[in-house]
Amino acid sequence: MQLKCVAIDDEPLALQIIEKYVAEYPVLTLVNTFEDAISGGEYLKLNKVDVLFIDINMPDITGIDLVKSLADKPMIIFTTAYKNYAYEGYELEAVDYLLKPINNLRFGTAVQKAIGYYQYKHADTANEGDFLYVHSEYRLIKINIKDIEYIESMQDYIKIHMLGVAKPVLTLMPLKSVIEKLPASKFIRIHRSFVVARDQIRSIHNRKIKLTDIELPVGTNYTDFIKEWHK
């Protein structure tokens, strides 16, 4: 696996730092750098890359607007000195969001996220179903599917409740979309608002299922659910 990268930043020193950090990862190849966002954008429209390191606050066009203009978006890692752009990065499903000055350790975390996400998207069928990637709190989150207890729909959002974790992961995604990413043999939809891990169901009684510490309702298709559950 080799990931082709481009870096765009109007600060030459920032580009030098990214170039130095990228060189420490054999899996990354920095194919070009740009101090001019417009030139960088033109290059990206003609050349396919895997990862884009891009500053947000640039004089000619913002990194946000440049990314929005790309029809075929690479994995995005935003770099900026300003925290207030985090929500825009979330909307564009950035892999990560690095605050300047960027240290080597934090850069490495972002790179590992990009590598993991690339492997996830290009996994063969033998390795599918082990992990789920979602965007939450402005960053890409890797979730081990075996750790999911149940998933709760909240209109356009879902809450992913995990074993031994008090705070669920909240992400902008319809329940239907996440169901398509889960192995059917391990999860079952019990209600229009709930999907549960089959091995976490402790009992079924009076149109409710009991997990370890919570009871959830079964929907109007209770009879169909019972048949499905006993397969």
pLDDT number for residue 54: 95
Take residue 172 and report the two structure tokens written for it. Answer: 């902008």
- pTM score, two decimals? 0.70
172-200 pLDDT per residue, tens? 888 988 888 888 888 988 888 999 998 99
pLDDT of residue 28: 96
* Eight-class DSSP state of 16: H
Q: How many CB atoms lie within 10 A of CB 179?
A: 16
Phi, psi dihedrals of residue 8, rounded to the nearest 5°: -125, 120
Intra-chain end-to-end CA distance of the chain, in Å: 40
Q: What is the structure's pLDDT at 127?
A: 47
Does domain 131-230 sit in CATH 2.40.50.1020? yes
Task: Specify the pLDDT at position 38.
Answer: 93
Q: What are phi and psi of 3, to 5 degrees?
A: -105, 120
| CA-based nearest residue to 137, from 181, 175, 179, 86 | 86
Classify domain 3-122 by CATH number.
Answer: 3.40.50.2300
Name the residue ranges covered by the structural domains of the chain: 3-122, 131-230
**What are the residues facing 162 on neighbouring strands?**
148
pLDDT, residue 126, reads 42
What is the predicted pLDDT for the residue at 91?
Answer: 58
10-residue mean pLDDT profile of the chain (231 residues): values are 94 95 95 95 95 92 90 91 58 82 93 88 60 79 91 91 90 88 87 91 85 83 64 60
